[in-house]
Structure 1
Amino acid sequence: MRALLVAVLLVATGCGAPAGDPTPAGAPDLTATDLAFVDLVIPQNESALAALALTATRPGSALRPVAAQVEARYRAELAQVRDLLARTGRQESDQHDGHDMPGMITAAELAAVGFAEGPDFDQQLKALLRTHFEEARTVARAELSGGTSKQVLELGAGIDSSRAEFLALI
């Protein structure tokens, strides 16, 4: 039910590409739900990458191996999403810029974790990542229940699965 509510809210608040954007011939046809999901994957992944990058300055962090694994997956997803947008003739949207949404790691949260030391750093980063992974699964499930594009549905299934794996690592 929560996944459906997320999908409805994303579409109702105007998330997705503007109406009337032409889709190039042969490109995947994306619904408003598909576009809302794709538009959210980018800032979600980018905010998480910023948090994961903090482990590079913490040689003793137990999260460094996890960060490397997650970072590789997130960068691959970003490339996939950007390629999909390019093939549909759409630009990246900044409609979520500055939003304090569940699972979106904010600048204030990054700063707080950045000041943490030792075990406190790992604990704070784990808490942020756990929330992020759980919300990414919720949003992916909204796509799986309401999206129609084969490519975006595959992305959603991959995100749901990988975030479950990442949750088990932390």
Structure 2
Amino acid sequence: MRRRLPMALLGLLVWVLAGCSTATGAAPAPQGTPGASQADITFSQQMVPHHQQSIQVANLASERSASEFVKAIAAKIIKAESAEVQTMTGWLQSWNAAALPAAGHAGHSMPGMITSGQVAGLENLTGAEFDRAWLPLMAEHLRNGVTMAKTVLSSGEHAETKALAQEIVENQTAAIDEITARIS
């Protein structure tokens, strides 16, 4: 009997460890993630720093812009994306998934992020000059967010993530259209 217990434990350990990897080598979604796939988790992990950067750049507009339009768009971005960051951060915590730093995974820059040089450039501008630089930069940043949201709409499983992604597509597309109309 004493020999059977250690062998049973060893068998259980092998069974548990075998379930911790996939054929592709990608980590499975953490346990206790009802309806959340790895695509849903990755979306939140990438969209949180993307939104945080939107908020950072929008805050610059409230300080440096001469345009009431730019300030109004920036305020909308700050309000909407701050709430979305809280939502996605909550999901990541409930899924026991780590949030990525703004610099991206493993220190590499994530696609769709504004470079540190571009942010520094904005920090050195004021007034109409700032507005001319900010508008196209923010439009491109928002386009990248729409692309990320469309990806999870087609590959995600978590209903709330997909609903948020659809909101992001609609709201950011509207903001892009407003910004683009001002640039033209």
Selected match of 1:71 from 68, 78, 83:
78
Residue in structure 1 matched with residue 37 of structure 2 by the alignment: 31
Residue in structure 2 matched with residue 142 of structure 1 by the alignment: 151
Q: Describe the shift of the 1:21–1:160 C-alpha distance in structure 2 as closer, same or farther (beyond 3 A).
A: closer
Q: Deviations over 1:65-104 (max 9, x none)?
A: 1111111000010011011112222231337155444431
Give the alignment's TM-score, normalised by structure 1: 0.80
Q: Tell whether 2:172 aligns with 1:163.
A: yes
Give the alignment's TM-score, normalised by structure 2: 0.74
The structural deviation recorded for 1:21 is 6.3
Map 1:42-61 onto structure 2 (within 5 A). Answer: 42-58=48-64, 60-61=66-67
What is the alpha-carbon distance in structure 2 between the residues aligned to residue 93 and residue 121 of structure 1?
A: 29
Residue 44 of structure 1 aligns with an amino acid whose one-letter code is H
Q: Tell whether 2:87 aligns with 1:80.
A: yes
Residue in structure 1 matched with residue 4 of structure 2 by the alignment: none
User: Contact 2:29/2:37 (CA < 8 Å) preserved in 1?
Assistant: no
* Larger of the two Rg values belongs to structure: 2
User: Contact 2:39/2:152 (CA < 8 Å) preserved in 1?
Assistant: yes
What is the alpha-carbon distance in structure 2 between the residues aligned to residue 128 and residue 115 of structure 1?
A: 15
Higher relative contact order (CA 8 A, sep 6+): 1
Q: Secondary structure at the match of 2:113?
A: coil
Q: Describe the shift of the 1:59–1:116 C-alpha distance in structure 2 as closer, same or farther (beyond 3 A).
A: closer
User: Contact 2:60/2:123 (CA < 8 Å) preserved in 1?
Assistant: yes
Residue 96 of structure 1 aligns with an amino acid whose one-letter code is G
What is the alpha-carbon distance in structure 2 between the residues aligned to residue 102 and residue 87 of structure 1?
A: 26
Q: Which runs of 5+ in 2 are unaligned?
A: 1-24, 180-184
What is the alpha-carbon distance in structure 2 between the residues aligned to residue 69 and residue 21 of structure 1?
A: 33
Percent identical residues: 24
The structural deviation recorded for 1:159 is 0.9
Report the number of matched residues.
152
Across the aligned residues of Structure 1 and Structure 2, the Cα RMSD in angstroms comes to 2.1
Q: Describe the shift of the 1:74–1:83 C-alpha distance in structure 2 as closer, same or farther (beyond 3 A).
A: same
What is the alpha-carbon distance in structure 1 between the residues aligned to residue 138 and residue 108 of structure 2?
A: 17
Q: Describe the shift of the 1:59–1:156 C-alpha distance in structure 2 as closer, same or farther (beyond 3 A).
A: closer
Q: Describe the shift of the 1:105–1:157 C-alpha distance in structure 2 as closer, same or farther (beyond 3 A).
A: same
Q: Secondary structure at the match of 1:92?
A: coil
The structural deviation recorded for 1:151 is 1.3
Q: Which runs of 5+ in 1 are unaligned?
A: 1-13
